[in-house]
Amino acid sequence: MRFLAESILQEEGHQTLSASTPEQAIALLEAEEHIDLLFTDLELQTDLQAGLKLAQEAKKRVPDLPVLYTSGQGITDGMKALFVEPSDFLAKPYTGDQLTTAVANLAKHKPV
């Protein structure tokens, strides 16, 4: 699913970076000068809340970073309460149009 999302975003003109683990994602955030948005699944490597933890760590490094969460599982109000801001949630399965719209909407929250 990650590769499909990347190709959809690249076709829309976005540059993408990809990480297989939360640790790799944090390393990318520390190495790259300009990241506009974090797109993460809530469940990473069988950890049901790894995406939430990743977003919280990312916000410590890039405070104004918008986060787009996704999951094929339902989310609870308790999980939503842990979302960083600004953020949005995109339920799986999603269409390419839904993905690009969610990214565009969140990009509006990123200061220039």
In a domain, 80, yes or no: yes
* Number of domains observed in the structure of the chain: 1
Whole-Å CA distances, 9 to 18, 47, 86, 99: 12, 26, 20, 8
Q: Is residue 55 part of a domain?
A: yes
pLDDT, tens digit, 9 for 90 and up, residues 51-72? 999 999 999 999 999 999 999 9
User: Does residue 94 sit within a domain?
Assistant: yes
Q: Please check whether residue 72 lies inside any domain of the structure.
A: yes
Domain contains 112: no
- In a 13 Å sphere around the CA of 11, the CA atoms on its Cβ side amount to 10
Which two structure tokens, joined as six digits, stand for 15? 């540059």
Domain that holds residue 63: 2-107
Picking from 102, 9, 112, the residue whose alpha carbon sits closest to that of residue 64 is 112
d(Cα 51, Cα 58) in Å, to the nearest integer?
A: 10
Q: Residue 8 maps to which CATH number? A: 3.40.50.2300
Tokens of 78: 């308790």
Q: What share of the chain is helix, strand, coil (3-state, %, to 5)?
A: 45, 15, 40
Tens of pLDDT along the chain (112 residues) come to 788 999 999 999 999 999 988 999 999 999 988 899 999 999 887 777 899 999 999 999 999 999 999 999 888 899 899 999 999 999 999 999 999 999 999 988 765 5
